[in-house]
Every structure is written in structure tokens, then in C-alpha cells.
Amino acid sequence: MNIHRFTIGIDIGKTAGAFAIQEAGEIKTFQMPKIGTELDYQAIYQLLEPYEAGNGMCVFEDLGVIFGSSKATALSMGHQAGAIEMACIALSIPFVKVKAKVWQKEMFIGIEEIQRMSKKKMVRDTKAMALMAVKRRFPKLKLTFGTVAKVPHDGLVDAVLMSEFAKSL
């Protein structure tokens, strides 16, 4: 296991989140900044800027085809991933793109399989399993943005686990 001064996990998507943890234990959570309904790439760059050329690692998903999603969604998510990658390159932040199944396999160790009904068949509920994994690792971490939200933010939950996964790289 490598020792990084910081690890950053970024969930890709317009309702995504990011999570950074410093070696000293300082934690920062970010909701992806937007202008209207579009991501604000300049603000994302500014969020990553404090980590410029540091001894750390950024992890975000290596996107594949999402069954049932539109071409517009696939194009948008690919654009977002490319922008995050370019920000890391410009800031000399080491990064790894990883398939969801890869980081989930490691982060779900010790988590009981949770299933849910989807289109008349049982499927693995990775969102519930991810939430359970985060609550075990960070029992006091606020998993919402703002003061009104009560439901944990899916993007933040995934970002936390990707940041934790980065510690093993």
C-alpha cells in the first residue's frame, strides 16, 4: 500500500460528488459545481487546484456503457470524465480511472450482499452496499450537502469509497 498525502475520489455525473482526505485526516466533501444544469468546469479545476503536483492520487470511474442510458447522457458523462482527466493532467495530479466493479469489489469486503427488485428480478443493490461500506469506515461523516437534505448523496458515497480505494494504489 502506498502512502499518499491525499486521496481524491470523484463520482462522474451532473449530480456527482467528490471527496478528499488528507494524510493528517482532514476531510473535504464537494458537490460538483454547476451553472444552471451544466457542470462548471472552471470551478471543478479550482476545487482540484490546492492539490496541484502533490503526493497524492485522484480516482474516478472508467465509464462504460450504461444500459438504458441515452446517447446524450453517455456523451455528457464522457465529456465530464475527460474534463476531470484534463484538470488532473494540467495540475500534475496523479490519477487512475477504474471500473466501478473493481473498486466496489475491494470496498465491499465484509459487506453482506444486498439485493433489490428491478424489472421483476432481483439484482445486486450496489448503492445500498456502498452506503453501508461508507458508514462502517466513516460513521460520523455527513453524507448530504446543504442543511435540508436528509438522504445520503449517492455521488458523495461513491466518491468516498473511490478515495478509500486510492489508498491501495
Q: What is the pLDDT of residues 43-66, one digit of tens each?
A: 999 999 999 888 899 999 998 766
Domain ranges of the chain: 6-166
From first CA to last CA, the distance across the chain in angstroms is 6
pLDDT of residue 2: 57
Fold of 6-166: Nucleotidyltransferase; domain 5 (3.30.420)
Q: Do residues 167 and 8 lie in contact, with contact meaning Cβ atoms separated by under 8 Å?
A: no
Over its length of 169 residues, how does the chain's per-residue pLDDT go in tens digits? Answer: 456 689 999 998 877 888 888 877 889 898 888 899 888 999 999 999 999 888 899 999 998 766 667 777 777 888 889 999 999 999 999 999 999 999 999 999 999 999 988 888 899 999 999 999 999 999 999 999 988 989 999 999 999 999 999 988 8
Give backbone dihedrals phi and psi of 112, rounded to 5 degrees, phi first. Answer: -65, 145
Residue 46 CB coordination number (10 Å) = 12
How far apart, in whole angstroms, are the C-alpha atoms of residue 158 and residue 4? 20
